[in-house]
Amino acid sequence: MNVSKTKMNYSKTKMKMRCEWLLTLKEKEKILVQGDNGIQSKFYVIDLAKGSVEELPYVLNHSLSTFTSVGSVIYAVGGVPSGVSKKIVYRTYAYYLDSALGWKEMPPYVPTADDYVRGCIIPTIPLCIPTAVSYAGYIYVFASYEQSPWALVLNTRTRKWATFLPPSDVGYFDLSTSHSAVADLANSRLLIHFKTISSLYAYYPSDKSWELLADSFTSTSKFVFVDGVFYVYIHKCRELVLAFDTLTNKWLQIEIESSSVLPDKMWNYKYDDMFYLGDGLMCLADSCCTQPPATDIFIAKFRFKRCNDRPGIIVITPLTVDTYTINTDCSLVNYYPF
């Protein structure tokens, strides 16, 4: 009886993950923007179809957080509360967004006595601008830009934290950017890039096992994972991105669509982020503070497709570069398509 129930719950989880994966195929038309001024975060919605910007009534008195979602619920993890020095905060925070009540705090992660005895304290507590990846109701939280002996896992159903160990043959996490780990829902795994050893590993939560996928995967830039391929943004690269196929463990050839001209602002400008809107539509994004206190956000869009008649080639079609303005002075801007 218990075995049948376990199998039924596993089947439901797989079905839910499959639905979440299928939802990524639909093109998203809006972007949730977090504007962080170092004290608090304000939120805006950019409507790409209408070309409009709307300020939301949700203010998070917290800075240096990273955002992810579980189902339709948005979470903020890491960072520090307003008015509190990073040097005296020894916990990892988490919030979720209630559309009626605003941001609600969840129980934070606080290192235990056992953690100190084992010597397994993450070098930076709190985690500022961490990598946060959601998978099957859990949020995996990694320190970015430095080595760490373990990461954290938040169960969003029970609201409890646990530790998460790296591959035994590596012994630490060292993610190079806040995009260095992604969920591969189609294959029921996480993909994590290790900077120092230039390797790409797969982690399977079902049995907590690791698999080395590539030992020559070098990237210090933002990347996006779509349909088994990593797209890596490279500044002043005429092809805009590099593409690595996790099925063949090979880099693919990028071509600009023959009738297209790559806009100078798209090629020459250095973008800080990249994200996927679905249906082959990718965005590069960056921001710049202006006067009076405001921030201009630049969104550069391009499409990509794989060639059925020419395996190993991806064709890029540049689209537009648009500017949106939010009425706050931001030192950090994050983007979440929905």
Which residue's entry shows tokens 């790559």? 262
State the pairing for strand pair 273-278/250-256. unpaired
Look at the pTM and tell me if it is higher than 0.75: yes
Give the pLDDT score at 115: 59
219 exposed, middle or buried (CB, 10 Å; 0-12, 13-18, 19+)? Answer: buried
Placement of tokens 């600009």 in the chain: 256
For 190, what's the count of Cα atoms within 13 Å in the CB-facing half-sphere? 30
Q: Which two tokens stand for residue 303?
A: 């499409």
Angle ∠(96,100,102) on CA atoms, nearest 5: 40
- pLDDT (tens, 9 = 90+) of the chain, 338 residues, equals 333 333 334 344 444 443 343 344 467 889 999 888 878 889 999 999 999 999 999 899 888 888 899 988 999 998 878 766 655 456 788 999 988 888 999 998 887 666 554 545 544 455 778 889 999 999 999 887 677 888 899 999 999 998 888 999 998 888 876 678 899 999 999 999 988 888 899 999 999 999 998 887 776 667 899 999 999 988 888 888 999 998 888 899 999 998 887 778 787 788 989 999 999 999 999 999 888 789 999 999 999 998 888 889 999 999 999 999 998 888 888 888 88
Could you give the C-alpha distances from 167 to 171, 188, 202, 203, in angstroms and in order?
6, 18, 10, 9
The pLDDT value recorded for residue 46 is 95
CB-based burial label for 228 (10 Å; 0-12, 13-18, 19+) = middle
